[in-house]
Structure 1
C-alpha cells in the first residue's frame, strides 16, 4: 500500500528535476542565441543576405555587383527546403570558414569567408545557434541566382583560390597587446572583415597581406587607407572621432559614409556596444602607419569656404533653356541648394560641408564621382540620410559624363584638392561599376585562347603522328 505513494513521489521528484534541467537548457540556448545575434550583427550578415527595403531578413537575393558579374546572396534562414535548415554545425562552420556549401559546391568570396576563417570556435557555435533558433525561416528561394560568365561560373576553380588566399585559422590574441586592442583586432579582422574593402587586390583578386587596410576599390567607390598614418590614414582622427563615425556615419569636418560603408554603419556598426566601437577605434589607431608618398596632407585638411554665385546670377533670364554649362553654373543649379553656394553645407551639417571633407580632399576623387552618380543613403538612429544620385537611375535629373566631370572639377578646385582631376572617361568608368581588374579584362579572351591552345596542341600531335608514320614508311622501304 505504501509503495504506490513512494513511486509517485519519486516520479514527481524526477519530473521536477527534469523540468529544472530543461529550463536551464532553454536559458542556456537563449543566451547562446543572443550571443550569436550579436556576432551576426558585428559580422554584418544582414547587409548582404537581405534585399534592401523589400526583402525578408536573411532570405538572400541581394545583388552584390562585382567586376566579374553580379553575385546574388543565398537564403541563410533555417528553411530546410530553401535555406540552411539541414546544415549540421560542422556543415555551417565549413561554409562560413572555408566557403564550401553542404553539397560541396564552393561559394564565391563575395561572402568574406577568407576573413570569417578567424572567427573563434565559441563564436561559431553561437552563430550557428542564432541562425538555427533565432532566425525566422523563409520558405522561398531568392528571385535571382548567380550566373557568372565562363570560366568564373566553374565554382570548383575557387578551390585553388582558397589555397592561396583563404587559409585562416581562428584568431589568437597577441599577448603583447591590451585586451581592448585584441578585441578591436578580432572585430576588424574576423567579424568586421574590414580588409575585404580597405585592402588592394592583386591580379587574382586576393588580398595582399602586406598592404592590409591601405585602401582599395570596391566597385566605383574607393575604401580609403585606415591605418594609423596621420596623412594617408586615420592617424589624425581621435578615438572619439572614430567612434562617432562608426555610430553615425558622419563626422563634421572629416567624412560621411556612403556606398558599402553606409551599409556597414546602418546594419552593423551603429548597433554594436560602445565598448566594441572603442576597441575597434583603439585597434585602428594602433596599426602600423602606411603613407602614400604622393599624399602631402590629410584629405580632410583641404579646402575653404568660397562662392561664385554673385558672378553667375542674372546671366540668363528665368525662362532660359540649357543655361547650365560651366562647372560653377551646374553646381549652382544642382548642388548649392543643399550644400550652399559657398560649400559650407547646412547649419546642422545634415548636408555636409564640401571643404574639409575627405571625399573632396582625397587625391583620388573616385568617391566624389560615385557620390554624384549614386548618391548617399543610410539610416542611422531611425533617421534617414539621403542625397539623390544623378546617374542613369536618378529620380531628379540624370547628368552626362561631361556634366558630372565639370561639377566634380569645380568642387575640387573651389572646395577640395585642386590637384585632383576628373575626366568624362573617369565618370564613364564609375558608371560601369569601377575600374576593371585583370581577371575581368582578360575574361573575353579566355575562351578564344583556350580554343587556340587546343588547336595548337592538336596540330602538334598531328605533326608528331605524321612524322612517326613517315619514319615507319622509310624504315619499311629500306628493309
Structure 2
C-alpha cells in the first residue's frame, strides 16, 4: 500500500507538472500571436534576416530624426530580462522604461494602452520565455536634436495623447465588430498611420482613420466612407487585402502597409481579419438611404495611347521620351500594359479601378514611382523597381515623374486630382511633408540665446491649451 500510495503521489505530481508546462506553453503561444498582431518584429528586428529577432537596430525614419529601435529580448544586460510584468506593462502601455526613460511615440504605446490584462500577461510570457536573449546592444542609439532629445518632455505629451485604458467593448457593436475594434485600435495601432496628426504630432480629434501622412506615403482613409474610404469594398475584399497585400481591381500594399502585411496581417487568423473588416465598415458608414456614389476604386478606364506616339521620331529615338504619355510608354507600359490594364493575373496591377490613381492626391503614385513596391506575402514576392537614386532601371527627374504622374492620373484615374508639380515630387523624394515641430526646431536655440525662451514657453502653452480643449 505504501508503494502504491507513493506511486500515486509521484504520478500526480508529474501529471500536474506536465499540465502546468502545457498551460505555460499555451500562454507563450498566445503571446507570440499577440506580438504578431502588434507587429513588434517590424520595428525591433532588422528586415529580411539582417539581424536577430527582436534585437533592435532598425532605423525608424521620423520627421524629427532617426529613431533606432531597442533590444527587447530577455537579455538581462541589453534587453528586458530584468523586467517584471509591471515593468513590461508600463513600457508597452505607458511608454516608460524600467529606469524611468520615456519612449518616443514611434513606439505606439498610446494605442497599446488598450491591450487587455490577459493579453499583456501572455505577451510578457512570450518575450520572457519564447524569445532567445541577444546579449548585445543595437549598433545605433537614438540621438534626436534639441529639444527633442529631452525625453522627459514626453510626459506632457502623454497627458494629452496617451491617457488610454485597457479596451472595453462598445455596447453598440456586436461581438465580431468589437473584436475588430480591439485589433484596429490597440494591437494593430491603425490610427497611428491612418489618422492625421496636429502641431504636436498627436492625432487630430474628429479625424479618426480619415487618413494621414507617413513620411513620403499617405495612409488613406480606411473608414466605411464609400467615396474616400473603403465603404464600397466587400468585407471579403478587405480581409483578402490584409492577408495578401492585394485586392484585385482596387489596391496593392506598398511602403509601410506592405511591411504591415508582411510582418503582421498575413499571419493573423482569418476570423480576426474578418473582424477587422466588419469593424472598419462601421466607422463613418453612410445611412442606408444614401445615394450610390463613385468610389476612388471605380475611376478610370483602359486607354491605349501607343498608336498616337509610335514612329514619330525615326531619326532620334531619345527624343521620344518627352511627354507623360511617351515616358509612360517607355518606363511603365511593359508591365502595366499600353492601355493601363496590367497583366492578366494582376501581379502587375491595373492603373484604372485603382485606389492610388483614383485618389484625390497623387502622393502615393509619386511615392510608388520613387520607392517601388517590395512585399512578401503568402509565398509570393511582389517587386516593382524604384526610379529613385540607385535604381537599376533608370533614375527619373522630378519633371519626368511629375509628367508621368499627371498622365496616369488624367488618363487612368482621377482627372480632377490636383496637377502634380516638380515641387510635389521633391517633397516626396525628401521624405514627405515637414511637420510644424521639425520646421521650428532649428530656430529654438537661437530664440533661447536671444532671450526668446519666454515667447517659446507662451507659444507652447497656447498650443497645449488649444490641444487640451480639443481632447476634453
**TM-score using structure 2 length:** 0.91
Give the 3-state SS of the residue equivalent to 2:381 in structure 1. Answer: strand
1:310-329 equivalences under 5 Å are 310-317=307-314, 320-321=317-318, 323-329=320-326
Matched with 1:19 is 14
Report deviation, 1:322: 5.7
Q: Which residue of 2 is the match for residue 28 of structure 1?
A: 23
- 2:51 corresponds in structure 1 to 55
Q: Deviations over 1:391-450 (max 9, x none)?
A: 123222111111111111111111111122211111110011100111011111111111
Question: Which aligned pairs between 1:177-188 and structure 2 lie closer than 5 A?
Answer: 177-188=173-184
Deviates more, 1:150-159 or 1:311-320: 311-320
Query: What is the distance in 1 between the residues matched to 2:319 and 2:69?
Result: 43
The answer to whether the Cα contact below 8 Å between 2:38 and 2:188 also exists between their aligned partners in 1 is yes
- Structure 1 residues 334 and 186: alpha-carbon distance in aligned structure 2, compared to 1, 3 A threshold: same
Q: What is the distance in 2 between the residues matched to 1:385 and 1:379?
A: 6
1:41 pairs with 2:32: no
Q: Distance in 1 between matches of 2:316 and 2:335?
A: 23
Task: From 440, 443, 446, give the equivalent of 1:445.
Answer: 443
Deviation, 1:102, is 1.2
Q: Report deviation, 1:251.
A: 1.1
Using the TM superposition, give the Cα deviation of residue 10 of structure 1 relative to its aligned residue in structure 2, in angstroms. 5.8
Q: For structure 1, which segment, 413-422 or 424-433, has the greater mean C-alpha deviation from structure 2 after superposition?
A: 413-422
Q: Give the alignment of 1:260-279 within 5 angstroms.
A: 260-279=256-275
Equivalents in 1 of 2:222, 2:285: separation in Å? 9
Distance (whole Å) between structure 1 residues aligned to residue 211 and residue 187 of structure 2: 18
Matching residue of 2:78: 82
The number of residue pairs the alignment matches comes to 448
Q: Quick one: distance in 1 between partners of 2:275 and 2:453?
A: 59
TM-score (norm 1): 0.90
* Aligned partner of 1:235 among 231, 235, 241: 231
- 2-structure distance, mates of 1:71, 1:322: 45
Q: Does the CA-based 8 Å contact 2:226-2:286 persist in structure 1?
A: no
Structure 1 counterpart of 2:120: 124
Quote the residue 2:422 is aligned against. Answer: 424
SS at match of 2:274: helix
Higher-Rg member (1/2)? 1
- SS of 2:209's equivalent in the other structure is coil
264-273 or 136-145, which moves further after superposition?
Answer: 136-145
Contact preservation (8 Å) 2:114, 2:167 = yes
Q: Which residue of the partner structure matches residue 462 of structure 1?
A: none
Tell me if structure 1 keeps the 8 A contact 2:75–2:133. Answer: yes
Contact 1:200 1:207 in 2 (8 A): yes
Aligned to 2:367: 370
CA 1:446–1:356: 2 relative to 1, 3 Å: same
| SS of residue in 1 equivalent to 2:66 | strand
Deviations 1:318-345 (Å, cap 9, x if unpaired)?
8744641111111111101000111000
The answer to whether the aligner puts 1:406 opposite 2:403 as a matched pair is yes
Cα gap change, 1:359/1:454 in structure 2, threshold over 3 Å: closer, same or farther? closer
Q: Per the alignment, do residues 332 and 454 of structure 1 end up closer, same or farther by CA in structure 2, a change over 3 Å counting? A: closer
The answer as to whether partners of 1:214 and 1:290 remain within 8 angstroms in 2 is no
Which residue number in structure 2 is paired with residue 433 of structure 1?
431
Q: Indicate if the aligned counterparts of 1:233 and 1:290 stay in contact, CA closer than 8 A.
A: no
Instruction: Give me the whole-angstrom Cα distance separating, in 2, the residues matched to 1:225 and 1:388.
Output: 26
| Kept after mapping to 2: 8 A contact 1:302/1:415 | yes
- The 10-residue stretch of structure 1 (239-248 or 392-401) with the greater mean CA deviation from structure 2: 392-401
Task: Give the Cα separation in 1 of the matches to 2:429 and 2:93.
Answer: 34
- The aligned residue for residue 469 of structure 1 is none
Offset of 1:149 from its aligned partner? 0.8
| In structure 1, distance between residues paired with 2:137 and 2:451 | 40
Give the drift of 1:31.
0.4
Q: Which range moves more in the overlay, 141-150 or 123-132?
A: 141-150
Partner of 2:159: 163
Give the C-alpha shift of residue 191 in structure 1.
0.8
Listed as ranges, the gaps of 5+ residues in structure 2 are 288-292, 456-472
